Amino acid sequence: MTLIATRPVPTRAALMLEQAGVHPLLARLYAARGITRADELDTRLAALLPPATLTGAEDAARLLADAIAAQKKLLIVADYDCDGATACAVGIRALRAFGARVDYLVPDRFKLGYGLSPEVVRLAASNDKSSQPDLIVTVDNGIASNEGVAEARRLGIATLITDHHLPGPTLPAADVIVNPNQPGCDFPSKAMAGVGVMFYVMLALRAELRRRGAFASQPEPNLANLLDLVALGTVADVVALDRNNRVLVAQGLARMREGKLQPGLRALFAAAGRDPRQASTFDLGFALGPRLNAAGRLADMALGIECLITDDAARAMNIATELDQLNRERRAIEAGMQAEADAFIETVDAANRASLTLFDPDWHQGVVGIVAGRVKERHHRPTFAFARGNGDGDEGWQLRGSGRSIPGLHLRDALDLVAKRAPDLLLRFGGHAAAAGVTLREDRLAEFEHLFEETVARLLSPAQRSRTLETDGPLETGYLSLANAQLLRREIWGQAFPTPMFSDVFEVVSQKLLKEKHLKLSLKKGGVRFDAIRFNCAEPAPARIHAAFRIDANEYMGIESLQLLIEHFETA
């Protein structure tokens, strides 16, 4: 069951924002998202939290500055998603501009798993690209890599951990750790993505080099040139868009719209058929991000990183085209897996379960996270999807699972509770509130399913298991316009700062099915007709509907017009 709810609007806050010069529609929407003063909407670079307030950033800057001065070999160990790729690209571009000898390594996720493991350290020490590094810098990983850091120390390699994931009970014994979520860090923006953390470390490094007089005889690198990468990684990693993150994303989007973007990002926009002059958070999350992620899911994320660090426009376009093809392959694989997941769910009583655990021996482990997300959206249940990882001799197969959660359940904390009940069940796990990963033995999947179901049932109330679409209520007919759709498209929306969704009652004038899966509608309200569409819905609409919808600018033959994107409808 789906409930359409209306987000409350603090009237006084909305009025004060409007009096401060904020557009009336935006004033109402911002107030409903917790904005009380107009200065909270300031997205100038000057509004960023100072790098010195991020615990460890200045220590990291000194460590890196010393390494650059001694011309030591630096190696960035990156993660294999969009956040990790953009964080690596920020590090490579900034460190090389500062004169560092730096290279990168992306572990094979299917062979070496996640994070800075001892195997990854040994691989780094014998990496063909260079001799053994003097300093390993992790991006978007490492906070749980106690054994990997210990192995690096044994080999005489220093370590700098930059991460944003939640730490375990014991921190790795790294030379420096920069993570807003580590104990003792008072940095207000706990939601920074891995790319944001690395960007902050580079800001601190530039300040340290400036103090050392490094730019007395050479130009000082402009790190604002990297904000397009920071914006992409931040949006694609679906972190909460608190004020600091909104500044980072707004600045990155502004540069894209001005044509100031890396060749790789320009090529990704072209491959996706999107115009960077009209760049939006939607483009970053649903057009560019998936194309970069496809490299990590199906091939090697080094391909994505090369796209982001090359200054050769032709090479960037060639790589972007290859990434686009990988994304098409990913979508085909996903469609088959989704059909199999749907068939399985028909055999269980999903409505009376607290969670869903799915597994197929033929599933691709790089795509299970997407399937888990689709199932979670459709059934509103915390979901894990598993695929086979490595075979391990007499001990059988390891399964690698990716989970997605719903509001009210912190997925990593739920896994921690499972691990406490069965200490030897989970070989590895980690993640966030909304997404997490886990590795276990295939012969113990049923035990995991049982314990996870019990844990979720205890943590989630029956009311929380009902899907609620929180909307911004009705939108006056005068506001249902192309101009307002364009206005909203240029604002910063995302996780914890949701894209505006409205709800209202419409008469259904006509409807037809497109490509056998998309419902095209003509709706009427107050004597005015509106074009609307509900994607991936073959269910016919009743004569009058109560709809939850977004407003969008639809382009056809070079002409834009207003279109309502229907998220859900029910009989009015």
CATH architecture of 46-325: Alpha-Beta Complex (3.90)
The domain ranges of the chain are 46-325, 343-465, 468-571
* Placement of tokens 């397009």 in the chain: 228
Provide the pLDDT confidence category of residue 393 given band limits of 50, 70 and 90.
low
The pLDDT of residue 349 is 87
pLDDT band at residue 72, thresholds of 50, 70 and 90? Answer: very high
The confidence score (pLDDT) of residue 504 equals 97
| Domain 343-465 is found in CATH 3.10.310.30 | yes
**What's the fold here for domain 468-571?**
OB fold (Dihydrolipoamide Acetyltransferase, E2P) (2.40.50)
The amino acid sitting at 310 is T
pLDDT band at residue 128 using 50, 70 and 90 as cut-offs = low
Give the confidence band of 292 by pLDDT, cuts at 50, 70, 90.
very high
Q: pLDDT at position 389, please?
A: 85
| Percent of the chain with pLDDT strictly greater than 70 | 98
Give the global pTM: 0.92
Rounded alpha-carbon distances, angstroms, from residue 300 to 110, 141, 304: 10, 17, 8
pLDDT of amino acid 431: 80
Hey, which residues does 263 pair with through a beta bridge? Answer: none
CA distances from 357 to 198, 371, 429 (A): 35, 11, 16
Q: Which of 106-120, 169-183, 266-280 shows the lowest per-residue confidence on average (mean pLDDT)? A: 106-120
Instruction: Read off the pLDDT band of 482 (50, 70, 90).
Output: very high
The Cα–Cα gap between 334 and 338 comes to: 6
Look at residue 213 and tell me whether its pLDDT is greater than 60. yes
**Among 194, 232, 366, which Cα is nearest to 296's?**
366
468-571 has the same fold as 46-325: no
Q: How confident is the model at residue 351 (pLDDT cuts 50, 70, 90)?
A: confident
Residue 392 has pLDDT above 70, yes or no: no
Share of the chain above pLDDT 90, in %: 86
Confidence of residue 130 (pLDDT cuts 50, 70, 90): low
Q: How far are the Cα atoms of 90, 187, 198, 203, 252 from residue 50, in angstroms, in the given order?
A: 18, 9, 14, 9, 18
Instruction: Report, as an integer, the average pLDDT of 60-70.
Output: 98
Query: Is it the case that residue 316 has pLDDT exceeding 90?
Result: yes
- Comparing C-alpha atoms, which of 511, 523, 508 is closest to residue 564? 523
Rounded average pLDDT over 412-435? 92
Angle, vertex CA 34, rays to CA 30 and CA 38, nearest 5: 55
Q: Is the pLDDT of residue 265 over 70?
A: yes
Question: Is the model's pLDDT at 326 over the cut of 90?
Answer: yes
Query: Does residue 291 carry a pLDDT above 80?
Result: yes
Q: Which residue has the higher pLDDT, 226 or 107?
A: 226
